[in-house]
Amino acid sequence: MNRILVIEDEISIAELERDYLELNGYEVDLAATGKAGLSLFRDETYRLVILDIMLPDMDGYEICRQMRETSDVPIIMVTAKNEDIDMIRGLGKGADDYIEKPFNPNKLIARVKAHISRYDRLVSREQPKHEDIKVRGLFIQHSTRRVMVNNEEKVLTVKEFDLLALMASAPNQVFSKEHLLEQVWGFDFFGDASTVTVHIRRLREKVEQDPSHPEYIETVWGVGYRIKQ
C-alpha cells in the first residue's frame, strides 16, 4: 500500500505531481475538488495527502481540518506565493508541511518521502516507545526520561535525551546527522548538521567516561553516529 491522494484543481499541476510520484513508485489518486478529495479519503487508505489550498468548492484548510478528525496521515499543503499568513493557518490546522507554487517536483518528492518515513517511524516507535533500553552500563528509562551510566544518573537536556534515546533504540545502527536532525529537531528546523555535532559532543561529555575515547557514542566517519552495543 503506497497510495497518495492529490487534491488539486489545476490539471497541469495535478498531472505533474502524479507523474513524479508514480515515477517514484507511488500510486496516485487525483481529485479536482474538495468534496471529491474527502470522499476518496473516506474510502481509501493513503500514506500521504498533497492538498492545494485554493480549490473551487472549499478551501484546503477546511479539508485538512476534516481529515484530521479521523486521521494523522501526513498532509502537505500547496500554496501560491505570498500567502505567508495562509501558510501559518494551514500548519495550525494540522498540516505537516507546505510547499509554494511554483515548486521543483524533486523537492516535493523529497518532502513526500521524508514525511512518509517519519510517519512510519513514529507509528512503529509507538509500540516500544516506553520500553527501557540497556546498553552495557548505559540505562535509558523512557517513562521518566532518566539516563544512568553505571548506576549514576546523568542530567540531559530534552534534545540530548531524544538524540540518545533515538540512537539507542537501534544499537549498532548508524544514524546520519541529517536523519538525526530531522527526527529530533523536526523537518522545519532551520539548523544544519553542525547542530547535531554540537549536541553529540555535549552528550559525550555527560555519558562518556572519556569523551575523546567514547565507549557508547561512536562516530562512523563520513556517515554519522551509532551506539556501540
Which chain residues interact with Ca ion by CB under 5 A? 9, 52, 54
Length of the chain: 229
Nearer to Ca ion, 34 or 214 (CB): 34
**CA 93 – CA 38 distance, rounded (Å):** 16
- Determine the residue type at 19: D
Is the Cα dihedral 58, 21, 44, 30 positive or negative? Answer: positive
Least gap, CB of 113 to Ca ion (angstroms): 24
Contact (CB, 8 A) for 115 and 107: no
Nearer to Ca ion, 9 or 182 (CB): 9
Least gap, CB of 94 to Ca ion (angstroms): 20
Least gap, CB of 56 to Ca ion (angstroms): 8
What angle is formed at CA 22 by the lines to CA 16 and CA 28, rounded to 5 degrees? 85
Nearer to Ca ion, 53 or 168 (CB): 53
Nearer to Ca ion, 97 or 160 (CB): 97
Residues 6+ positions from 88 with CB-CB distance below 8 Å? none
Q: Helices marked H in 155-210 — which ranges? A: 158-168, 177-180, 193-207
Least gap, CB of 54 to Ca ion (angstroms): 4
Is residue 99 within a helix (H) or strand (E), and if so which, with residue range? Answer: strand 97-100
Nearer to Ca ion, 93 or 204 (CB): 93
Using CB positions, name the residue nearest to Ca ion. Answer: 54
Nearer to Ca ion, 78 or 112 (CB): 78
Cis bond before residue 102 (omega within 30° of 0): yes
Backbone angles phi, psi at 15, to 5 degrees: -70, -35
